[in-house]
Structure 1
Amino acid sequence: MNIVNKLTIRHLRKNKRRTLVTIIGVIISVAMLTAVATIGVSFMDLMKRQTIADEGEWHVLYKDIDQNQLQAIKKDEDTKKVVLSKDLGYAILKGSKNANKPYLYIKEYNQYGFEQFPIELSSGRLPQTESEIVISDEIINNAKVDYRIGDIITLDVGNRIANDPEIHGPMDQTFSLMTNEKGEINEELKDSSTKEFTIVGTIKRPTWEVPWAPGYTVISYLDEGLLSKDELVNATVVLNKVKTSLFKRAEKLAEKNQIGKVEYNYNLLRYYGVIKSEGMRTTLYSLSAIIMVIIIIGSVSLIYNAFAISVAERSRHLGMLSSVGATKKQKQNSVFFEGFVIGLISIPIGIVSGLGGMGVTFLFINTIIQGALGVSEKLKVTVTPGSILVAILVSIITIFISTYIPARRASKISAIDAIRQSTDVKLTRKAVKTSNFVRKLFGIEAEIGLKNLKRNKRRYQATVFSLVISIMLFLSVAFFTANLKKSLSLSQDGQNYDIMMEVEKGRDDQLVKSILSMDEVTKYNLMSPQYGLTSMIDKDATTDVLRKTESFNDQLVDGKFPYYINLYSLDDESLKTYARELGADYNELQNGLNAIVIDQIKYEDGDAGKYVEAKAIHTKVGEKIDLYSNDEEHEKHQYVDKIQVAALTGKLPMGAYGAYPGSLDIIVSESTLEKLGFVGDNYRMLYLNSTDPLKTQQKIEEIEDVRHYIRNVYQSRQQDEQMVMIMSVFTYGFIVLITAISIANILNTISTSISLRKREFAMLKSVGMTPKGFNKMINYESIFYGIKALIYGLPLSVVCMFLIYKALANSFSYSFTLPWLSICYVVVAVFLIVGTSMLYSSAKVKKENIIDALKQESI
């Protein structure tokens, strides 16, 4: 170790406070980088494990393959495991208590199927031959026949065929029980064959069995050795390595071996970062790059300020080294060596702190996500070599960038300037010139404060830079969070209810009351839909999306475009609740022909490969819309009436799926629907939200003589809700982390800057500045800091936000809007943080003795 490096270490030891402040700054920065990398990896790991727990672990599914095709799949170098399965079909469940589930659904798996899919054994054992089965616990609870382990049952197994010419081929579990208008079963089992099975165990209801499925799950064993050469099975493949190329490889394998159907487990693959859509992949990579750049900028800011202040404090020490013969390179290397030593200490501590902080955070988060969402898996601190290596490399690069400019400055300090400590102070008339307007408006204290800032330009710029970076970090992350949630909501299928049920008006009123009185029901909507209506909308009022289509002008009739109208009427209580949520006038909706118009639509544009949010119509409150009904007999539209727009909203009532370009959703009261003359349809749809949807469905089905169509969509939307909730926890946690780092950065910068100005403040006091005048000067300095930071910070933040918006625009299309509420928070927070920091730091300086402070030459 050379003499300059030894002196550097000695100086670090002697100035323990400054060294500790620098080390803490670097530790915080490294911990932030580690925490962000860990959160991202841990979040993806949680969603991956949760998806596997809910749906099983598989990546590619080849449907209806023979033995030759199966062997080709097994020999593929990417194949790790092959799960064989076969849908045997349906059999009548004798004595079923649930009129909507009259069947047993028999499915066969080979041994790997029992390992890879979430089949949870309740009692007994799993089947080992094709004549053995396990039955769902739900069968025992919902069948009048007392099934026991060891029973031998004979079943006529066949395919469900609908008595509807529009539905072709056998129906699977995704098709609910087909019924006619009288509630009678409108399907039958065909191609039946008699099979005998021995019950060897019971299982819990499989998670993949959708609530509206007409058959209770029964699982048997698929013996590959007994398969005939031409017998068709499904091959579900678990791959050795999951990478983006799997899509092309699977399609190539299918094409080569003439396999007709290939499906992918998109729900699981997306958590590996494997996305088929080019637009979505570009979005993911662009967002990752932008967020990483934002984090690096924040880290550079924090560490740079620590080293910049360090060099400012060491200027006298570096000057003395120069006076005894130290070269520019040696002084520069002294700063680099300081960065190396501090990095050597801080990076390991920062990584451990980041991981430890995430561990503690996850303990609290787990109780939230498991309690509120019923997520079975826990967030674990997932550490990968890649994430740690990225954190270390980014930290090293950050420290190097942060030390480079101070090192260059240090190498240029002359011995005389450094010893006199005159490099940071500019005394030329032009440099410290201030406007007379400042003095007249704010007084002499404000002018002195502004001159102080101009004289100490580098420290002033370092503080403003910290504030600007903090503003950019907070607004960018807040915008990212809001837009990420918006993007997720756009990609949802619009199901905002747990249970849907068809009821008859009048006859089922008592039934509805019984359902709504259940403890588990939290919210409901009773809705009557009226379809088949149209309206001629003026060309200028149509949505922009329609006007861009090639066929738009061809469909115009006298300058108007035909819109399809979906008319929904809500019962009085549902309408009152909905109107209150929107801030609409309920009484106005009950009187006259007034309606709520949904003027925002969300849909998936398959051609563009994007999720789009757009205006459904350009209209205003008070305008009227003509309604026409289809007269099929005369093949023309019959005028109904005009309906007035009482309110506009983008929020759909529970149960409404949302329109698409060229259609419009309109919400009215039941009395308005009757005034329009639509009283023929006597059925209504009851939509429910429940704290326990499965229990609620069971209680409804237990009501005597209930044979209504019930659809429970809770499980199908649960994973999407989990995704949104966990993503919210992740992103808001990120905001809290960024905010904490930003505040620490500002406090550190301002506090050290004030400490370095002790002699300056002592001189002002010695020439007669009163404590009140001193406070006024500090307050005005705070205002100058805040105004300057906002002038630079807000435009730069808008640029960052627009870049994030453009990255999301590859997969999602919606208008760019500024987060005005977040901007207001930032404006208030900047002045609050700067003012608090200045007052806290100056309070410590006030206690200094004037004589001692004037004598002091260095900190």
Structure 2
Amino acid sequence: MNIVNKLTIRHLKQNKRRTLVTIFGVIISVAMLTAVATIGVSFMDLLKRQSIADEGNWHVFYSDLNEKQLEAVQQDPNTKDVVLSKDRGYALLEESEDPYKPYLFIKEYSEKGFEQFPIELSSGRFPQKANEIVVSDEINQEAGLDYKIGDILKLDIGERYAFDEEIDDPMDQSFSFMTDENGEPAEEFKKTGTMEYTVVGTMKRPTWERPWSPGYTVLSYLDKEKVKEVNAFIVLKKLKGSLFDDTKKFAEANKIDDEQYGFNYNLLQYSGVIKNGGMRTTLYSLSAIIMAIIIVGSVSLIYNAFAISVSERSRHLGMLSSVGATRQQKRNSVFFEGAVIGLISIPLGIIAGLIGMGITFMFINKMIQGALSISEKLEVTVTAGSILVAVLVSILTIFISTFIPARRASRVSAIDAIRQTADVKLTGKAVKTSKLVRKFFGFEAEIGLKNLKRNKRRYQATVFSLVISIVLFLAVSYFTDNLKKSLALSQDGLDYDISIDLGHEGDEQLVQSIIAMDEVTEYNVIKDAASKRITSWIDKDMAAELLKTEEEFKEQFKDGKFPYYVILYALNDESLKTYAEQVGANYEQLKNSLSAIAIDTIQYEDAEAGKYVETKNIYAKAGTKLSLNIGDWETEKEEKSDQITIAALTNQQPMGVFSGAGGIDNLVLVISESTLNQLGDGILVEGENNESLHLRSNDPVDTQKKIEEIEEVRHAIYNVYQNRQGEEQLIILMSVFTYGFITLITLISIANILNTISTSISLRKREFAMLKSMGMTPKGFNKMINYESIFYGIKALLYGLPISIAIMYLMYRALMNSFDYVFTLPWLSLLYVVIAVFLIVGISMLYSSGKVKKENIIDALKQENI
């Protein structure tokens, strides 16, 4: 070790407080980088494990493969494992006590299928022969049967066919047991053969069996020698972005139709393979922006520590220069200081980040499992890649942080360093202030502003810290809000847990019984007129912008008007009153006249552009009258009906109404039941209006069971809660991640500002002592400090807010690769930032100056460092 490096080590030891602060700053930055990398990897690992637990471990699915096609799949170089399956069909279960679950559904797997799919064995073993089966525990619990291991079952096997002629193919498990209005069966069972099975085990109900499925799932062994066509679930060796195109080419080469293959999209996207190119670009762009924010935040924190360290060492560096130290040696001494601190801080930071995440996961695991009803736990997942990224980014951060101070150190001359003239500028021009400052704010404000100008570099370092803190907070806050909005746009628009088709006799009493259940939290009874074709010619100035610009729509304009398809939803009185209050509409007007609430904002997926879009689809005003034309979908003949008045416009949709069900030329109107029955002189008679109940529940699965117990006539019940769980899971997990990130960023920013201001005030002890020695009172001193705080805050906001808005817009543009909505500023977050900046600076200045006040004037004047 050369003499300069030895002196650097000695300097670090002598200035223990400064060294510890710098080490602590680097540890925080490395811990943040490690934590972010670990959170990302751990969350993706959780989602992958949960996806496997729910849907099985496979990537690509092929159906009805013949022997030649199956051989091609097995011999594909990228195929790791192949699981074969076959839906054998249904078997009548005449002794079942549940009239709406009168079947067994027999599914066959090859040996690996029992390992790759989420099948939990309760007792016994898995089938090893084609005549062996495993039955679910629910058969005995719900159907009132008593199947035991060793029982021999002789089953008539066949397919289910609906009486409805529009359903041509045999029905699978996605179709509930079909009944007519009187509750009588509306389907028939067609026998195709007979099989004899031996029960060799019992299992818990498979996750893929829906509560409304008409057959209890039983599993058997697939003997591929006895079947001509099989389904194949493929586990791939390598997952590449070209997977979807490669699979399509493979299917075409082997004469496999498009309908014969599919993908495990959830597992693939959690493994980093996303079909939507725009979504992939969005994720990569956002990742790059977030990583840049982290690096900038870390650099600002560490840079300030090294910059102040070099400022303190200026006399030390000058003395080195006076005894012959070269510019390179002085520069290298700063780099060496960074290397020493990095060697200590990086390992500690990585350990701190991993321990912090481990503790965090321990606290939030139960909350996440309870909220999402998931079986898997968050585990600290460490990969070589995530640690390597954290180390490399940390090294890069320290290098960037030390580069400018190192250059500055190399340029320090012996005389300037010893006299310390580099940091303090005393020229009149440099410290000149406006006369207005003294006139409006007083002498103390002028002195405070001159102090900032004299110590320009430290002033700039503090402002820089504030600017970075503003940018970090606003960028991450904007990212969080827009992530939620983007995920909401990608949802299917179903904002309820259960919907029930009504229209049977006695349904009014059933509805009252359902909404009285303790689990039901909200409900809506809705009628719609989907059986009729309703249009309205809208003036061009009120039409959506897309309709005026796209060629396919421009041709439909006639006499300056465009034909909108109108979708009418009628709420019952209680639901309408609640909704009218929410959107600020007049309930009495809606109930007693031909009036409607228009939903003027539409959300839909533009498949051609690969985007989720939110846009206004009509620019009307309250009081606008629309003429409705009512016709028939088949004949397309229309006749003019009544005019309806728009009572209010809103972007809020009542529960059960989804404005994105059609295209941008669809207009949703929410009306009263009396208005619906008055339109068209009886054309929309009550018998032709579809009626449904939509509700939210604390326990949707239990609620459905209770409804099935009390209903006299079987209704079509759609429980969308389970289908939506995966999407809600992603939103909640991402919210935990992003809000945790905001908290971390905020704490680091506050620590950064406190550190910078505290050090800056500490280094100005002699300056403050001189002011006191010249007669400045404690009140005047406090006033000067307060004005300095205000100047810091104003300057930081002048730079921070425009930069933050620019970064927000960059994020918005990144999201526009997959989503399309209007750019809006987070005004509430901006207000919080303005308040927080002055609050943090004020507290920091008061805390730091409070410590300086206790200093003895004589001792402070003797201080060598400014």
| TM-score normalised according to structure 1 size | 0.96
CA distance in 2, matches of 1:547, 1:816: 21
Deviations 1:437-489 (A, max 9, x none): 11111111111111111111100111111111111111111111111111111
Quick one: structure 1 residues 99 and 689, their matched pair in 2 at CA, closer, same or farther if it must change by over 3 Å? farther
- Following TM superposition, by how much is the alpha carbon of 1:658 offset from its aligned partner in structure 2, in angstroms? 2.3
- Following TM superposition, by how much is the alpha carbon of 1:369 offset from its aligned partner in structure 2, in angstroms? 0.8
Deviations 1:116-175 (A, max 9, x none): 111122333322222122223333333255444433333222223334443343332223
- Corresponding residue number in structure 2 for 1:858: 865
- Corresponding residue number in structure 2 for 1:243: 240
Deviates more, 1:316-325 or 1:341-350: 316-325
- Summarize the alignment of residues 461-480 of structure 1 with structure 2, pairs less than 5 Å apart: 461-480=460-479
- Corresponding residue number in structure 1 for 2:782: 775
- Corresponding residue number in structure 1 for 2:380: 381
Q: How many positions carry a matched residue from both structures?
A: 856
- Following TM superposition, by how much is the alpha carbon of 1:783 offset from its aligned partner in structure 2, in angstroms? 0.8
Amino acid at match of 1:300: V
- Corresponding residue number in structure 2 for 1:576: 577
- Corresponding residue number in structure 2 for 1:212: 212
CA distance in 2, matches of 1:381, 1:149: 41
Quick one: structure 1 residues 618 and 178, their matched pair in 2 at CA, closer, same or farther if it must change by over 3 Å? farther
CA distance in 1, matches of 2:428, 2:621: 60
Amino acid at match of 2:508: D
Contact 1:631–1:638 under 8 Å retained in 2: no
CA distance in 1, matches of 2:580, 2:180: 35
CA distance in 2, matches of 1:515, 1:132: 43
1:720 correspondence with 2:727 = yes
Which of 798, 823, 827 is the equivalent residue of 2:834? 827
- Corresponding residue number in structure 2 for 1:315: 314
CA distance in 2, matches of 1:133, 1:362: 40
Amino acid at match of 1:367: K
1:259 correspondence with 2:259 = no
- Summarize the alignment of residues 110-129 of structure 1 with structure 2, pairs less than 5 Å apart: 110-129=110-129
Amino acid at match of 2:861: L
Contact 1:336–1:403 under 8 Å retained in 2: yes
Quick one: structure 1 residues 534 and 83, their matched pair in 2 at CA, closer, same or farther if it must change by over 3 Å? same
Deviates more, 1:693-702 or 1:600-609: 693-702
- Corresponding residue number in structure 1 for 2:431: 432
- Corresponding residue number in structure 2 for 1:392: 391
Q: Secondary structure at the match of 1:380?
A: coil
Quick one: structure 1 residues 519 and 632, their matched pair in 2 at CA, closer, same or farther if it must change by over 3 Å? closer
Amino acid at match of 1:621: A
- Summarize the alignment of residues 84-123 of structure 1 with structure 2, pairs less than 5 Å apart: 84-123=84-123
Deviations 1:202-226 (A, max 9, x none): 32221112333332222211123x3
CA distance in 1, matches of 2:200, 2:210: 24
- Following TM superposition, by how much is the alpha carbon of 1:614 offset from its aligned partner in structure 2, in angstroms? 1.1
Which of 809, 814, 817 is the equivalent residue of 2:821? 814
Contact 2:181–2:504 under 8 Å retained in 1: no
Quick one: structure 1 residues 397 and 619, their matched pair in 2 at CA, closer, same or farther if it must change by over 3 Å? same
Amino acid at match of 1:560: K
CA distance in 2, matches of 1:251, 1:174: 26
Amino acid at match of 1:75: Q
CA distance in 2, matches of 1:528, 1:455: 74
Q: Secondary structure at the match of 2:459?
A: helix
Quick one: structure 1 residues 692 and 123, their matched pair in 2 at CA, closer, same or farther if it must change by over 3 Å? farther
CA distance in 2, matches of 1:575, 1:486: 26
- Summarize the alignment of residues 351-430 of structure 1 with structure 2, pairs less than 5 Å apart: 351-430=350-429
- Corresponding residue number in structure 1 for 2:620: 619
* Segments of 4+ moved more than 6 angstroms: none
Contact 1:616–1:664 under 8 Å retained in 2: yes
- Following TM superposition, by how much is the alpha carbon of 1:95 offset from its aligned partner in structure 2, in angstroms? 4.0
Amino acid at match of 1:776: K
Deviations 1:788-815 (A, max 9, x none): 1111111111111111111111111111
Quick one: structure 1 residues 206 and 641, their matched pair in 2 at CA, closer, same or farther if it must change by over 3 Å? same
Q: Secondary structure at the match of 1:734?
A: helix
Q: Secondary structure at the match of 2:313?
A: helix
Quick one: structure 1 residues 578 and 27, their matched pair in 2 at CA, closer, same or farther if it must change by over 3 Å? same
Amino acid at match of 2:862: K
Q: Secondary structure at the match of 1:555?
A: coil
Contact 1:584–1:647 under 8 Å retained in 2: yes
- Corresponding residue number in structure 2 for 1:697: 704
Structure 1: runs of 5+ lacking an equivalent:
none
RMSD (CA atoms) = 1.9
Deviations 1:258-290 (A, max 9, x none): 233221111110011111222121111111111
- Following TM superposition, by how much is the alpha carbon of 1:507 offset from its aligned partner in structure 2, in angstroms? 1.8
Deviations 1:42-65 (A, max 9, x none): 111111111111111100112111
- Following TM superposition, by how much is the alpha carbon of 1:524 offset from its aligned partner in structure 2, in angstroms? 1.6
CA distance in 1, matches of 2:130, 2:779: 92
Quick one: structure 1 residues 566 and 92, their matched pair in 2 at CA, closer, same or farther if it must change by over 3 Å? farther
- Summarize the alignment of residues 495-534 of structure 1 with structure 2, pairs less than 5 Å apart: 495-504=494-503, 507-531=506-530, 532=532, 533-534=534-535
- Corresponding residue number in structure 1 for 2:19: 19
Residue identity (%): 69
Quick one: structure 1 residues 625 and 364, their matched pair in 2 at CA, closer, same or farther if it must change by over 3 Å? farther
1:753 correspondence with 2:760 = yes
Amino acid at match of 2:337: E
Deviates more, 1:681-690 or 1:412-421: 681-690
Q: Secondary structure at the match of 2:86?
A: strand
CA distance in 2, matches of 1:105, 1:561: 51
Contact 1:100–1:709 under 8 Å retained in 2: no
Q: Secondary structure at the match of 1:201?
A: strand
1:688 correspondence with 2:691 = no
Deviations 1:629-651 (A, max 9, x none): 21579853223322222332222
CA distance in 1, matches of 2:188, 2:783: 88
CA distance in 2, matches of 1:588, 1:461: 61
Q: Secondary structure at the match of 1:653?
A: coil
CA distance in 2, matches of 1:647, 1:602: 19
Amino acid at match of 2:200: V
- Summarize the alignment of residues 708-747 of structure 1 with structure 2, pairs less than 5 Å apart: 708-747=715-754
Deviates more, 1:280-289 or 1:459-468: 280-289
Contact 1:210–1:716 under 8 Å retained in 2: no
CA distance in 2, matches of 1:825, 1:306: 27
CA distance in 2, matches of 1:780, 1:74: 76
CA distance in 2, matches of 1:633, 1:404: 75
Structure 2: runs of 5+ lacking an equivalent:
none
Contact 2:448–2:784 under 8 Å retained in 1: yes
CA distance in 2, matches of 1:433, 1:497: 65
Deviations 1:78-124 (A, max 9, x none): 22211100011123331444444333221111111110111122333
1:56 correspondence with 2:56 = yes
Quick one: structure 1 residues 632 and 20, their matched pair in 2 at CA, closer, same or farther if it must change by over 3 Å? closer
Contact 2:617–2:667 under 8 Å retained in 1: yes
